Amino acid sequence: MNIRQVPVLDPIKLEIIANGLRSIADECFAALMRSAYSTNIKERKDHSIAIVDRNGRLVVQAALTLPIHIASMGGLMRCVLEKFGDDIEEGDIFVANDPHTAGGTHLPDINYAMPLFSDGELVAFVCNIAHHADIGGMVPGSMAGGMSEIYQEGLRIPVVRLFRRGELQTDIMDILLLNVRVPDERRGDHNAQIASCRLGARRFKEVVGVHGLANVLAAFDEIISRTAARMRAAIADIPDGTYRFEDFMDGDGIATFDIPIRLALTVSGDRIHLDFGGTSPQVTGNINTTLNAVQASVGYALIAALDSELPSNQGILDVIEISIEPGTLLNSVFPAPVAARAHACQRAIDVVLGALAEALPDKVIAAANGANTTAVFSGNDPRTGKPYLYLETLGGGMGARATRDGKDGVQVGITNTSNLPVESIEQEYPLRVEEYSLVADSGGAGRYRGGMGLRRVVTPVGHACVFNGAGERFRYRPWGLFGGRPGGSGRFLIKDPDGERRLDDKPNEVTVGEGTRITVETPGAGGYGDPHERDRTAVARDRDSGKFSSAYLTEHYGQAD
């Protein structure tokens, strides 16, 4: 059949094909997770899978995919098609990570794309992203504060062809591995990404064999157009008007503090326009972000508030209009550092939800932990003599809702990863976790309380190591809604023979001797509604849980017993 003869799919056929495509993405996600070497991927699931059409439009993502990765995969595909055009062959695999030239959002997220062919014609791509625990640069883990330009953050990879007609270009892989601190682990993660791409290619051929290429390509268009139509219908339910909100980043980790993010959100019928005018210029430190990452963040926020069952694909991005001046915090330009861009993305989500609170009070949540609290421990493992690097971004509180409390100690917003189990940390690294708990009193009071932050206390075993970190909502607490109180802020602490003291909010290369303890406390989340309206049974449950002190209960609810 000529693939340009577009068939009309009935709803049942469309759903069967769409589920077949999603099953490919889900299977590739599981394969990458199970074959990766690093705990950040195999345990925390910091990776994503997508199927993209031959025009670069994202069609389906795996169910457990990180929302922010829709931006990187879309950006990668635009760059692949612009650079290589018709010079794409079966068996090729492309790799990239650079935010300023290759559509990425930060360097640790390495993007892969493999073209999918049918009868010699390019019809789609299978893509994946994995967050590598280190990509080189001046700081182990490539994520901590203190970096002031993209060159310091690690190896920049433009869009290059890693495989040509099925053959690995070994010189390129050699470059990728030479510039990182734990090359054996990186090689294992690269191989997992390659295997995942090849699995996706095989499964896609099977789906085409069952349903026919013309039907699969027609399904691409239908999946995207129906998503766009559903999003427009959801937007039409928002009362027309302009809604404003602002929030502030704590600081950039170098010299700038109290960094504003401002939004005017305008709804007219089924159209929505988000104008971030008045947002801070890009800063010296590495909390800047790129436009495509903000598009993904805004898309996530609107899905969460308007229609949580909407699939994440190109249809979402096609409906949303965003205005952000180049050279600002949310649309930074070269050579801006962006390693900790997730902090700004999380705050952008809070700002969108804050603006919508006036229009949709029953559908939004109070501010969540609004951060991507990063902790990195690195050194030489005394058991093997080899270098190690443990990276984690820890969860915190989820904002309270109109009908229930926020969740405790979870990832929120554009992240969708797990908190690393204690057993994995102690098995994989020469570290001991002395405490893993919730931060008492960190959930903001309200008719429904906010979620609570996490506490981890970690010490090196048999050696000294280096600690790097990056925190947000350590000064500006997560706000509450409609009388709800703000959640608790986060902090980093170090305890050595000289006593315990607080570290900078974005600490860089802190020496941690044997027996010294690093404490990571993540932010909680805001409450929803007047605390005096909280059900007495819920207050009693708070008391019995041990999560809240008597002083906290007395202050906010008027009772401790």
**For the domain that residue 206 is a member of, what is the CATH number?**
3.30.450
| Residue 200, pLDDT above cutoff 70 | yes
Mean of all residue pLDDT scores within the chain: 95
Into how many domains does the chain fold? 2
Last residue of a domain, which of 203, 229, 255? 229
The answer to whether residue 250 is domain-embedded is: no
- Residue % of the chain over a pLDDT of 70: 99
The answer to whether residue 520 is domain-embedded is: yes
Task: Note the pLDDT of residue 559.
Answer: 62
The answer to whether residue 507 is domain-embedded is: yes
The answer to whether residue 292 is domain-embedded is: no
- Residue % of the chain over a pLDDT of 90: 92
132-146, 239-253, 317-331: the lowest-pLDDT one = 132-146
Task: Note the pLDDT of residue 2.
Answer: 45
325 pLDDT band, cuts 50/70/90, is very high
> In terms of residue numbers, what domain contains 392?
365-561
Last residue of a domain, which of 202, 229, 256? 229
| Residue 383, pLDDT above cutoff 90 | yes
Asked if 325 and 275 touch (Cβ cutoff 8 Å), the reply is no
The answer to whether the Cα torsion of 86, 87, 92, 97 is positive or negative is negative
The answer to whether residue 242 is domain-embedded is: no
The answer to whether residue 287 is domain-embedded is: no
Rounded CA gap, 352 and 67, in Å?
15
Task: Note the pLDDT of residue 396.
Answer: 97
Rounded CA gap, 154 and 138, in Å?
7
Q: What is the mean pLDDT of residues 276-302?
A: 96
4 pLDDT band, cuts 50/70/90, is low
The answer to whether residue 71 is domain-embedded is: yes
362 pLDDT band, cuts 50/70/90, is very high
pTM, entire model: 0.95
Asked if 526 and 444 touch (Cβ cutoff 8 Å), the reply is yes
Which strands sit side by side in the sheet containing 387-393, from one edge to the other?
A: 387-393, 374-380, 465-470, 510-512
The answer to whether residue 41 is domain-embedded is: yes
pLDDT tens for 454-511 read 999 999 999 999 999 999 999 999 999 999 999 999 999 999 999 999 999 999 999 9
Task: Note the pLDDT of residue 415.
Answer: 86
Task: Name the maximum alpha-carbon separation found in the chain.
Answer: 77
Task: Note the pLDDT of residue 1.
Answer: 40
pLDDT tens for 19-30 read 999 999 999 999
Last residue of a domain, which of 229, 253, 288? 229
pLDDT tens for 50-95 read 999 999 999 999 988 888 887 778 888 999 999 999 999 999 999 9
